[in-house]
Chain A
């Protein structure tokens, strides 16, 4: 699986979990917080995406991630 596909999965879950957002609005260089996500929104997006990608990453490895692109890179190490 390539990074573009992973970003697509993350975007899908962002759209499902945040209101009033379109796919073309999402810039991977930004943080989910920039789109109004609260801490539990982010946890839900991350866990739904990991479930779809069939990966499990310990919470401790995710704490320093700053934006969607970095999240995709981290996912890529595990798929």
Chain B
């Protein structure tokens, strides 16, 4: 990512992140990347210890991984997966507490943006739970597979603050507007099996053991297509999400400035952020 940033994120932050990543190892301990000859790439979020929570190291390794893939013009499709138990647990507790103290973390936002701007289709293969920002990652992808056994929820409000990462616009796209409202207002963690008959836009809700197989099958079908046409189609189809993310951020940033400053919010995070 070079030059002026389309969303006006501070270039210094971005540059710092990329510089840090570029000087470090490309294959990190938290992210595993596999690129195959047939153009299928697989990025596995593999932070067992941190449950794929968004701490600073995780984010910078993830962004670096996605940047590396972006620069590889032989890739036709990307599978994004997580751990068997947890796809991603979303924002890290310390980062949330920092936000309450007025320290700015814009890095979470980079994840939504980076995924949406990926030049090839991304398949979210969620074997494990996806919570908060973790679920929004899936909403940034093109095709989404969930597991019957795992849970999916937008828990922001349960911790006292309003949703972020583009959730208010992107989650309704994935779940349908009314289910998304229920998820955001209640913070309920829906079991995959409970979402089956809700008419969400999730492509497949399968047994956990079937999730990766389905992702591989879809990726294989896409990989048989012309790479140039794949990129063209992705560019067109992603236009809506790019716009939604810009729209969401105007409101979400404003709501965050207010809701993270509520004195109750810090207490709720301290008390309710689960381990």
Contact = CB atoms under 8 A, between A and B. Distances in A.
A4 interface: no
A15 interface: no
B265 to A, nearest CB: 17
Given A19-B148, A38-B85, A38-B149, A43 B189 contact: yes
Given A59-B271, A59-B274, A41 B151 contact: yes
Contacts of B131: 40
B214 interface: no
B274 A17 contact: no
Contacts of A44: 151, 188-189, 191
A40 B188 CA distance: 11
Given A40-B189, A41-B191, A59 B272 contact: yes
A38 B191 CA distance: 11
B275 to A, nearest CB: 9
A58 B270 CA distance: 12
Contacts of A58: 271
Interface in B128-172: 129, 131, 148-151
Contacts of B150: 38, 40
B193 interface: yes
A17 B191 contact: yes
Contacts of B148: 19
Contacts of B272: 59
B63 to A, nearest CB: 27
Nearest to A19: B193
A44 B191 CA distance: 10
Contacts of A59: 271-272, 274
B167 to A, nearest CB: 19
Interface core residue of A19, A36, A43 (most chain B CB under 10 Å): A19
Contacts of A40: 129, 131, 150-151, 189
Contacts of A17: 191
A47 B188 CA distance: 10
A58 B274 CA distance: 12
A41 B191 CA distance: 8
Interface of B: 85, 129, 131, 148-151, 188-189, 191, 193, 271-272, 274
Interface of A: 17, 19, 36, 38, 40-41, 43-44, 58-59
Given A38-B85, A40-B131, A59-B272, 7 more contacts: A17-B191, A36-B149, A38-B149, A40-B151, A40-B189, A58-B271, A59-B274
12 contacts: A36-B149, A38-B149, A38-B150, A40-B131, A40-B151, A40-B189, A41-B151, A43-B189, A44-B151, A44-B188, A44-B189, A44-B191
